[in-house]
């Protein structure tokens, strides 16, 4: 009884920091802060029968990008390199052939797209196309749209597209809606 009444000896807290450091280093090593990033796309809904190309889209409103099994590019029936895709896509989207798009600054070439709301980009690839190349081309096409949107945002609001409010972004998107179709792969060979 008497021994219990004696005060308990204080625990030495000097090693507390060491223990905490040990745990800290463990979490430092195991932690992975990778947030998954990627190219966001939306797939068309599934339909049983083979997709017939819609009849009401004019040939000049479709921008065809073809990638073959050797990762070579054919843009609008012409050989092209990856550097050209973005510029050509931008010219096509921004063309504004019928003049209904007030915010566009295109060349108004009658042989190219009518206006951005009608312009469709069709990306076709072979089964043998490498994923790397596909992503690069996809990236260029997305880049064409984001550059156009960014240009419009700077002209209209004097700010980057990213810094616009949600409603302003929607307005910009309404001028340049994104129509990129990833066709089912065909054996284009090559």
Q: Which of residues 3, 12, 32, 102 is near other proteins by CB under 8 A?
A: 32
What DSSP character marks residue 64? Answer: E
2 interacts with other proteins by CB under 8 A = no
190 interacts with other proteins by CB under 8 A = no
Q: Which is nearer to other proteins, 11 or 28 (CB)?
A: 28
Q: Which of these segments, 57-65, 88-96, 113-121, 130-138, binds other proteins (CB under 8 A)? A: 130-138
Residues touching other proteins, count (CB under 8 A): 51
Q: Which is nearer to other proteins, 63 or 145 (CB)?
A: 145
CB contact burial 65-93 (16+ within 10 A = b; e otherwise):
bbbbeebebbbeeeebeeeebbebbbbbb
Residue (of 109, 79, 87) closest to 96 by Cα position: 109
Residue (of 173, 103, 111) closest to 145 by Cα position: 173
Smallest separation, CB 22 to other proteins (Å)? 10
How, if at all, do strands 120-125 and 180-182 pair? parallel
Report d(CA 99, CA 77) in Å as an integer. 25
174 interacts with other proteins by CB under 8 A = no
82 interacts with other proteins by CB under 8 A = yes
39 interacts with other proteins by CB under 8 A = yes
Q: Which is nearer to other proteins, 51 or 100 (CB)?
A: 51
Q: Which of residues 60, 86, 118, 149 is near other proteins by CB under 8 A?
A: 86
Q: Which of residues 3, 12, 31, 102 is near other proteins by CB under 8 A?
A: 31
- Structure-block tokens of residue 30: 């195991």
- For residue 75, what are the β-bridge partners? 65, 78
Q: How far does CA 152 lie from the centroid of its chain? A: 18
Measured CA to CA in angstroms, residue 138 lies from 65, 75, 83 at distances of: 10, 13, 13
57 interacts with other proteins by CB under 8 A = no
Q: Where along the sequence are the contacts to other proteins (CB under 8 A)?
A: 13, 16-17, 20-21, 23-24, 27-28, 30-33, 35-46, 71, 81-83, 86, 125-136, 138-140, 142-143, 146, 182, 184-185
């Amino acid at each position: 009884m008497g021994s219990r009444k004696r005060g308990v000896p204080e625990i030495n807290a000097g090693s507390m920091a060491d223990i905490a450091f040990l745990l800290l280093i463990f979490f430092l090593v195991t932690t992975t802060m990778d947030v998954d990033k990627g190219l966001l796309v939306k797939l068309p809904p599934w339909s049983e029968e083979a997709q017939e190309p819609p009849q009401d889209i004019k040939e000049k409103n479709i921008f065809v990008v073809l990638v073959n099994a050797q990762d070579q590019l054919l843009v609008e029936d012409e050989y092209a390199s990856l550097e050209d895709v973005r510029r050509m896509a931008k010219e096509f989207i921004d063309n504004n052939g019928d003049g209904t798009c007030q915010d566009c600054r295109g060349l108004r070439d009658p042989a190219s797209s009518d206006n951005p709301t009608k312009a469709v980009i069709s990306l076709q690839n072979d089964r043998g196309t490498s994923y790397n190349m596909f992503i690069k081309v996809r990236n260029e096409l997305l880049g064409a749209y984001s550059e156009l949107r960014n240009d419009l945002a700077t002209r209209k609001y004097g700010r980057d597209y990213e810094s616009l409010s949600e409603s302003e972004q929607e307005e910009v998107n309404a001028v340049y809606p994104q129509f990129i179709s990833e066709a089912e792969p065909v054996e284009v060979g090559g």
